[in-house]
């Protein structure tokens, strides 16, 4: 066969327009570079992934035993489409007793982690061509918008400010409300580990209620996706607030995203849930039943039994919060010590989740071999190659390319590594001019 004939017979294996134009995860791209270094024998302090090292942060022992027992009891067939009844009951009791939220079991949907829940919310409340409003930095709202609408142009975002702990304000969101069908918010926020104040979230709720009053009963309402997957991991005097507790009228418009992935260090167990208006939850159930995005039945049965004893749940939370906070506080103090020495770094005091917001204001600095750190990518690479510290720039979460702020995730961090990392950073920063 000639080359010409071979070329003519080669099919054009293009995917659909949405898939062809979907941008891959920026974090996974960075992780590939880091993993290559580790495979080559380099020591890298990897703080990029929003996950836990189970050797450092194992799931609760009692939960592990219940999972094993569920498999031993052959709980391996299909679960109910909305989740096993015992787990929905346990979730209902958990959120009522620990958050004061009252949702019946038929207003709760169990899924294979928070991601299917988020996907289902987008698919349920949005029509083709409708827009989504969200702050940046934030996690994956741009990609969920694209997967639903087929184009990134349907995202409407506001870039938040460090003086507001990178949380959106009511004033920043207000000009866009009339043009969107969904507002997507997260608190505690991934990637920053910061939270809404009571005042700010109340103002945002009031604006959404006002907008829905303007739309009236003849129009589809403006919905709020409220991702609170990290709500149990707050530290010190920080309090988690939610829209429905602050403004009960928001119950008609709010769909919660929640689960055990973060609070129980159970990212691979894949048990998440939504709470919201019964009609919306029912439609989400229909979508996910076609996708088959259920949490495994054994894990659901085990989670139901574990969550039915809130004393053991609370005990585990007390332990993991102490350990996570120790790492976050250690890094924050370390960055503040570097700042006090005159290095162009900073950090925001930890509030919640497993993330610390840190700054490397190094644009324009020169390395020892005379190279200029002209871009955020240059800075990221320098910190990785010289200090052996891997963190994720906020531009991977939708912030501007010039942003010099980063997410540092401590879920894979040994406490004794904190001091070593700060020492390594100081050595690397000292080489810049």
- Distance (Å, whole) CA 78 – CA 75: 9
User: Of 241, 189, 207, which Cα lies nearest the Cα of 350?
Assistant: 189
Which domains, from first to last, does the chain contain?
17-56+315-430 (3.90.1150.10), 61-308 (3.40.640.10)
Rg over CA atoms, the chain? 23
- Say which residue, 8 or 424, is predicted with more confidence: 424
pLDDT at 150 over 80: no
What is the distance in angstroms between the CA of the first residue and the CA of the last residue of the chain? 61
Which tokens go with 18? 């949405």
**Could you check whether the bond before residue 188 is cis, i.e. omega within 30 degrees of 0?**
yes
pLDDT range class, residue 33, cuts 50, 70, 90: confident
Q: What pLDDT score does 411 carry?
A: 97
Cα separation values, 7 from 15, 55, 246, 286, Å: 19, 51, 64, 45
Please provide the DSSP assignment of 233-279 as one string. -B-TT-----HHHH-GGGGGTEEEEEESTTTTT-TTT--EEEE--HH
Q: What pLDDT score does 3 carry?
A: 57
Q: How far is it between the farthest Cα atoms of the chain?
A: 74
- Residues 14-29 have a mean pLDDT of 87
Task: Provide CB contacts within 8 A for 408, sequence distance 6+.
Answer: 47, 331, 355, 356, 357, 358, 391
- Distance (Å, whole) CA 181 – CA 255: 13
**Could you check whether the bond before residue 85 is cis, i.e. omega within 30 degrees of 0?**
no
- Distance (Å, whole) CA 211 – CA 238: 30
| Beta pairing partners, 185 | 226
Token pair 């890094």 is found at: 331
pLDDT digits (tens, 9 = 90+) for 316-354: 999 999 999 999 999 999 999 999 999 999 999 999 999
Q: What pLDDT score does 13 carry?
A: 86
Q: What pLDDT score does 10 carry?
A: 78
- Distance (Å, whole) CA 240 – CA 32: 34
Q: What pLDDT score does 2 carry?
A: 53
pLDDT range class, residue 171, cuts 50, 70, 90: very high
- Say which residue, 13 or 97, is predicted with more confidence: 97
- Residues 374-394 have a mean pLDDT of 96
Sign of CA dihedral 299, 302, 304, 306: negative
Name the average pLDDT for the chain: 95
Q: What pLDDT score does 135 carry?
A: 98
pLDDT range class, residue 37, cuts 50, 70, 90: confident
Q: What pLDDT score does 149 carry?
A: 84
Q: Are 141 and 118 in contact (CB under 8 A)?
A: no
pLDDT at 7 over 60: no
Q: What pLDDT score does 11 carry?
A: 84
- Residues 158-172 have a mean pLDDT of 98
DSSP summary character for residue 366: B
Q: What pLDDT score does 221 carry?
A: 97
pLDDT range class, residue 143, cuts 50, 70, 90: very high
Angle, vertex CA 361, rays to CA 359 and CA 365, nearest 5: 145
- Distance (Å, whole) CA 365 – CA 375: 10
Let me know how long the chain is.
433
pLDDT digits (tens, 9 = 90+) for 400-425: 999 999 999 999 999 999 999 999 99
Cα separation values, 203 from 173, 320, 347, 386, Å: 10, 32, 27, 45
How is the beta sheet containing 392-393 ordered, strand by strand?
345-347, 355-360, 405-409, 392-393
Token pair 């270094």 is found at: 37
pLDDT at 156 over 70: yes
Burial of 69 (0-12, 13-18, 19+ CB in 10 A): middle
What is this structure's pTM?
0.95
- Distance (Å, whole) CA 25 – CA 223: 26
pLDDT at 5 over 80: no
pLDDT digits (tens, 9 = 90+) for 53-91: 999 999 999 999 999 999 999 999 999 999 999 999 999
> H/E element holding 306?
helix 297-307
- Distance (Å, whole) CA 151 – CA 145: 7
pLDDT at 6 over 80: no
By percentage, how much of the chain surpasses pLDDT 70?
A: 98
User: Of 114, 86, 155, 144, which Cα lies nearest the Cα of 300?
Assistant: 86
pLDDT digits (tens, 9 = 90+) for 243-274: 999 999 999 999 999 999 999 999 999 999 99
Task: Provide CB contacts within 8 A for 342, sequence distance 6+.
Answer: none
Token pair 């054994």 is found at: 298
Q: What pLDDT score does 48 carry?
A: 94
Q: What pLDDT score does 215 carry?
A: 96
| Beta pairing partners, 360 | 345
Which tokens go with 305? 């039994």
pLDDT at 372 over 90: yes
The backbone torsions φ and ψ at residue 183, rounded to the nearest 5 degrees and listed phi first, read -110, 130
């Amino acid at each position: 066969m000639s080359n010409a004939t071979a070329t003519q017979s080669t099919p054009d294996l293009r995917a659909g327009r949405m898939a062809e134009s979907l941008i891959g995860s920026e974090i996974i791209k960075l992780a590939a570079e880091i993993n290559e270094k580790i495979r080559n024998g380099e020591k890298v302090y990897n703080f990029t992934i929003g996950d836990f090292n189970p050797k450092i942060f194992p799931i609760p022992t009692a939960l592990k035993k219940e999972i094993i027992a569920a498999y031993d009891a052959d709980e391996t067939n299909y679960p109910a489409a909305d989740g096993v009844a015992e787990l929905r009951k346990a979730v209902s009791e958990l959120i009522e007793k620990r958050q004061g939220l009252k949702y019946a079991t038929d207003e709760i949907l169990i899924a294979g982690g928070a991601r299917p829940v988020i996907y289902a919310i987008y698919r349920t409340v949005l029509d083709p061509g409708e827009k989504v409003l969200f702050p940046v930095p934030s996690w994956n709202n741009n990609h969920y918008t694209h997967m639903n609408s087929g184009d990134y142009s349907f995202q409407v975002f506001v870039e938040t400010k460090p003086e507001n702990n990178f949380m959106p304000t009511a004033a920043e969101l207000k000009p866009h409300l009339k043009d969107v069908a969904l507002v997507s918010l997260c608190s505690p926020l991934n990637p920053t580990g910061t939270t809404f104040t009571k005042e700010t979230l109340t103002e945002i709720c009031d604006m959404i209620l006002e907008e829905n009053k303007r739309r009236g009963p003849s129009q589809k309402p403006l919905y709020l996706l409220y991702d609170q997957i990290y709500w149990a991991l707050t530290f010190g005097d920080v309090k988690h607030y939610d829209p429905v507790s602050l403004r009960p009228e928001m119950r008609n418009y709010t769909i919660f995203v929640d689960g055990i992935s973060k609070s129980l260090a159970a990212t691979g167990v894949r048990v998440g849930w939504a709470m919201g208006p019964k009609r919306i939850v029912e439609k989400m159930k229909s979508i996910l039943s076609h996708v088959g995005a259920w949490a495994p039945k054994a894990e659901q049965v085990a989670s139901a039994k574990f969550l039915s004893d809130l004393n053991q749940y609370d005990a585990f939370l007390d332990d993991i919060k102490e350990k996570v906070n120790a790492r976050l506080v250690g890094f924050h103090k370390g960055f503040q010590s570097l700042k006090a020495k005159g290095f162009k770094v900073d950090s925001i005091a930890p509030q919640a989740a497993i993330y610390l917001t840190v700054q490397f204001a190094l644009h324009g600095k020169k390395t020892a071999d005379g190279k200029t750190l002209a871009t955020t990518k240059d800075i990221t690479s320098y910190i990785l190659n010289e200090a052996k510290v891997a963190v994720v720039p906020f531009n991977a979460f939708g912030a501007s390319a010039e942003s010099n702020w980063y997410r540092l995730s401590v879920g894979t961090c040994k406490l004794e590594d904190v001091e070593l990392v700060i020492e390594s950073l100081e050595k690397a920063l000292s080489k810049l001019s």
